[in-house]
Homo-oligomer: A and B are copies of this chain.
């Protein structure tokens, strides 16, 4: 694979652009690895895993808008994933009496069990993918990313 950072034609005298490309590159490498393993081990797509992970973390359920915001993607695909999870009995819809177009999605007991079966393995994959850094480096990186994320949320007024 051609490496973005070392491409001969790439002249990046700009610190921030290089930082951004490294951030994007690391994230995509890990995301693609996780995507492939989820498919091989559990025959599940990454967006579907992400939806279940978010629902797992909010036992009271989430509205579609909340789910979109958490996943930082727009709604179309999420609705389709939820429809399929409902059909398979892994998610249930809880309606809003005030507004029939609004509903909350929540994992069923079967959904919780299914997610837990995958979550342990997912966590071990992440451990393995990040183990090229020492614990100290992981902590430093995590602290810097938290600061970055906080400043981004401030910029966007969220």
Contacts and interface: CB of A to CB of B under 8 A. Distances in A.
Interface residues of A, number: 64
Contacts of A9: 57-60
Given A29-B156, A132-B151, A154-B132, A141 B7 contact: no
Q: Is the interface of A mostly helix, strand, loop or mixed?
A: helix
Nearest to A145: B22
A88 interface: no
Contacts of A148: 26, 130, 132-133, 141
Interface stretch (A10-18, A79-87, A89-97, A109-117): A10-18
Most buried by B among A31, A32, A72, A155: A72
A43 interface: no
A59 B148 CA distance: 34
A18 B149 CA distance: 13
Given A148-B132, A148-B133, A152-B26, A7 B138 contact: no
Contacts of A7: 57-58
Most buried by B among A24, A146, A150: A24
Interface of A: 1-5, 7, 9-10, 14-20, 22-33, 57-60, 66, 69-70, 72, 123, 126-127, 129-133, 135, 137-142, 144-156, 158
